[in-house]
Structures are given as C-alpha cells and as structure tokens.
A = this chain, B = another copy of it.
Amino acid sequence: MTDFKTELAGVAHAVEQALAQHLPRPAGDHAVVTKAMRYAALGGGKRLRPFLLVEAARMLGGDTDGALLAGCALECIHVYSLIHDDLPCMDDDDLRRGKPTVHKAYDEAIAVLAGDGLLTHAFALMADARVHPDPALRLRLVAELAAASGTDGMIGGQVTDITVAEDARDTALITRLQAMKTGALIRFATKAGGLIAAAEPHDLMALDRYASALGLAFQIQDDILDVEGDMETVGKAVGKDANLGKATFVSTLGLDGAKQKARELGQTAGAALAPYGEKAQTLLGTVDFVLERRH
C-alpha cells in the first residue's frame, strides 16, 4: 500500500503539472474565465481518472507521456462536471475540495462558462498529437470521450440523479445511475489507456470488467463514507444524502449489505486482471485503495 500511495501521488503530481502547462493561460479581455478554469482544475483532487488511464497504459506497455495528456483531457471533463453539478440550480454546493466552489469564488455566469471552457478544452487536448502519433487513434479517443461524457453517459446519469424521485429509486435504478454518472468516465479511463497501449480486444474486455466493478465499488464506498465519515476527514458536508432522505446503496442494501457488495466487486475487479500478474499490481492496489479510503 505504501508503494501504491507513492505511485498515486506521483501521477497526481504529474497531472497537476501537465494541467498547469496545458490549460489556457489567463490573458486578454476574458482572462477571468481562464483563471476560473485553473482555479477549479488545479490544486487538488485524487486524479483517480487520469491515474487509471496512465496505469492501464503502463500495464500494457504503452506510452505513459501520451496517456498523461489524455488523462488531462479526461480530468477537464471531470472538473467541468463538478463545476456545473455544484451550481445553485443543481446541487447548490458552496465547498469543493475544501475551497469555495467556482460560482462562490467567481459568480454563476463565470461558473457556467468555465465549465463550458473545460469541456471544450478536453477535446482540444485529446486531439493533440502528443497523445498518440496516430490521428485515427486520437479520433477514436475523441469519439469515445464524447460518448462516455454525453447523454448516454455522464450527463445522462446526472440528469437521472436530479430528476428521478427518491421513492422511485431502487438498487437497480441507482446502479444504472452510477454506471452512467461516474462509471462511464472510469471505464473510459482504462479503455483509453488500453487503446494508447495498442491493447488487444481481450485486454480491453478485461480492463472494462475491472473498471465497471471498480466504479461501482467506488460509489458504494462513497455512500458508506457518507454515513460513516466525519466532517473533518471528508472535507465536505457529511450525512447530506441521508439527511435529504436520498436513496443510496446503503439505504437500499443496508450498511452491511453495502459493505458486502463492495467487497464482492473488489474481488470481481481483481479477478479481471489476474492474468496480468505483477504488471497489474498498481491497478489491483487501486481496488484496495478505493475500498479502504476514508475520504
């Protein structure tokens, strides 16, 4: 676990540096929006999605520099979704990663536009020649990213989350919701890493089984933390979902049931990568990290 945390911190540091380099720099009459984009994207976060992308590429012997830049594109999508989800008309959150959300630090209009800017910039980065020398491969990454983050993926999941009544949510619904809202980008992460590493179809299938199980385990652990965590550790309002009477994996499965389900998913994720032996060590460590995390 020590090696794993060193690796995770190392990639997070590299993502931070690469984002600082590849995000637009504040200049011109519109500098406030690029400032807001950098405020939201820099200075924190686990960088789990780029980490998975880089480590999937590494496991299969791919170019990790290209994977890192693709990871930055993916992180831009993740950060834009946080900015828009935090807006008053959606979750109305004042804090994110322990600092004021973009619409609090700036204003609502700049938050909408900074999100739009990051979403747009994600595709500019993914099209960059430094991601991979083959333009056809980069085009495939663009198309896959659009699919994973669009209405059949992340956006659709967010829409379901804000529109489906709590009393209409059972385990099946919140499983579908998670698969779209957070699962799609996590699956994209490992697929993109695989594609950059010229993965064979059976490799992509193994990565997808791993990422699907990991993504769901991550969400279940989030729901468990929401009940068990304390304010100081997680850095955001705790018990919020439960207080709002929100259906979660804990409310539909019970706390013990949720923990059992998370463990089973961890085993499924591990089994998917068993054929890769030592090379899968970091991705397998991610499963333990997700299940044991406290924030």
Which positions in A face B, CB cutoff 8 Å?
A: 24, 28-30, 32-34, 37, 80, 84, 87, 89-90, 107-110, 112-113, 115-117, 119-121, 123-124, 127-128, 135-136, 138-139, 142-143, 145-147, 149-152, 155-160, 162-164, 173, 176-177, 180
Q: Which residues of B contact A28 (CB under 8 A)?
A: 152, 156, 160
A84 near B110 (CB under 8 angstroms)? no
**Known A123-B146, A136-B135, A136-B136: A151·B34 in contact at CB below 8 Å:** yes
Chain A to chain B: the 7 pairs with minimum beta-carbon distance, closest first:
A89-B108, A124-B146, A30-B159, A30-B156, A135-B136, A127-B143, A29-B160
- Other-chain residue from B116, B136, B139, B151 in contact with A30 (beta carbon distance below 8 A): B151
Chain B: which residue is nearest A84 at the CB level? B112
In the bound complex, CA of A244 to CA of B157 (Å) = 40
**Known A107-B89, A108-B89: A29·B164 in contact at CB below 8 Å:** yes
Q: Which residues of B contact A87 (CB under 8 A)?
A: 109, 112
- Other-chain residue from B33, B84, B145, B163 in contact with A156 (beta carbon distance below 8 A): B33
In the bound complex, CA of A160 to CA of B28 (Å) = 9
In the assembly, how many copies of this chain are there? 2
Q: How far is the CB of A83 from chain B (nearest CB, A)?
A: 10
Q: Which residues of B contact A33 (CB under 8 A)?
A: 151, 155-156, 159
- Other-chain residue from B90, B151, B164 in contact with A109 (beta carbon distance below 8 A): B90
A30-B151, A119-B120, A124-B147 known, 16 other contacts, Cβ within 8 Å: A24-B152, A29-B163, A29-B173, A29-B177, A30-B155, A30-B160, A33-B156, A84-B116, A89-B107, A89-B112, A120-B155, A123-B142, A124-B150, A135-B139, A138-B139, A139-B139
Q: Which residues of B contact A138 (CB under 8 A)?
A: 139
Q: How far is the CB of A185 from chain B (nearest CB, A)?
A: 12
Q: Which residues of B contact A123 (CB under 8 A)?
A: 123, 142-143, 145-146
Q: Which residues of B contact A34 (CB under 8 A)?
A: 151
A151 near B89 (CB under 8 angstroms)? no
Q: How far is the CB of A73 from chain B (nearest CB, A)?
A: 10
**Which of A33, A107, A115, A121 lies at the interface centre, i.e. has the most chain B CB atoms within 10 A of its CB?**
A33
In the bound complex, CA of A124 to CA of B156 (Å) = 15
Q: Which residues of B contact A120 (CB under 8 A)?
A: 119, 146, 149-151, 155
